[in-house]
Structure 1
Amino acid sequence: MTQQFNNQLFAFTKQFTDSAFKAQSLALKGLETVAELQLKAFEEQAKVSAEFVAEALETRDINSLRGLWEKGASLNRDNAERTVAVSQEILAVTQKTAESLNALVQEQRQAANDAVTAPVAAAKKAAAK
């Protein structure tokens, strides 16, 4: 009896640690993707901003300043659009990760239900004979 209990406990523990490892790897993969998206967006924004600052430092007359003003407004609009696009991508990655974790939880729940009902069904079958 004790051996059977130990075997079931060991199997449950193994299943739980496997699921926890899968959940951790899913979460880390999602986190890595989000960090990569944010880093790319930051690099692009820094590059464009540095170009703008370099051009601003070269401004010498009023006409150049007007052109710079228009370019600054365009730069702000582009940065806002890029931020929205990256935010949407991050939201999609987060949603996909959550769905994957939910599927993993459902698998774990089903496996636990099967592990509980299998011995009960075997006991009923043995009692019927």
Structure 2
Amino acid sequence: MTQQINSQIFAFSKQLADSAFKAQSLALQGLEKVTELQLAALEKHAQVTSDFISEVMETRDADGLRTLWEKGANLGRQNAERAVAVTQEIFAVTQKTAESLGALVQEQHQAANDAVAAPVAAVKKAAAAVVTK
């Protein structure tokens, strides 16, 4: 009896550890993708801003400043559009990660149900066999 309980506890612990490892792996993959997206956006933003600042430093007359004013407005709009696009991508990655974690939870829930149902079915079958004899 003790051996059977120990083996069930060991199996449950192993299943729990495997599930935790899979969940951690999924979460880290999602975090890695989000970080890559944010770093790429930051790099692009820094590059565009440094180019604009270089143009500002080279401007010497009023016409150049008017041109820079328009470029600055366009730069602000483009940066906002990039930020929205990156945010949408991050949201998609986060949603995909959450769906994967949800599927993992459902899988573990089904495995737990099966683990409980199998011994009960075996006992019912054994009881039915004893009653019919």
**Alignment TM-score, normalising by the size of structure 1:** 0.99
- Matched residue SS, 1:60: coil
Q: Which whole-Å CA distance do the structure 1 matches of 2:126 and 2:10 have between them?
A: 24
Q: Partner amino acid for 1:24?
A: Q
Structural mapping, 1:35-50, within 5 Å:
35-50=35-50
Q: Tell me what 2:64 maps to.
A: 64
RMSD: 0.5
Q: Tell me what 1:27 maps to.
A: 27
TM-fit CA distance, 1:38? 0.2
Q: Partner amino acid for 2:9?
A: L
Q: Partner amino acid for 2:124?
A: K
Q: Partner amino acid for 2:47?
A: K
Structural mapping, 1:48-87, within 5 Å:
48-87=48-87
The gaps in structure 1 that reach 5 residues or longer are none
Q: CA-to-partner distance for each residue in 1:10-66, whole Å, 9 max, x for gaps?
A: 111111110110000000000000000000000000000000001101111000000
Q: Tell me what 1:118 maps to.
A: 118
Q: Partner amino acid for 1:62?
A: A
Q: Tell me what 1:13 maps to.
A: 13
Q: Which whole-Å CA distance do the structure 2 matches of 1:99 and 1:48 have between them?
A: 35
Q: Tell me what 2:3 maps to.
A: 3
Q: Give the % identical residues.
A: 72
TM-fit CA distance, 1:125? 1.0
TM-fit CA distance, 1:128? 1.6
The gaps in structure 2 that reach 5 residues or longer are none
Q: Which whole-Å CA distance do the structure 2 matches of 1:48 and 1:100 have between them?
A: 36
Q: Tell me what 2:92 maps to.
A: 92
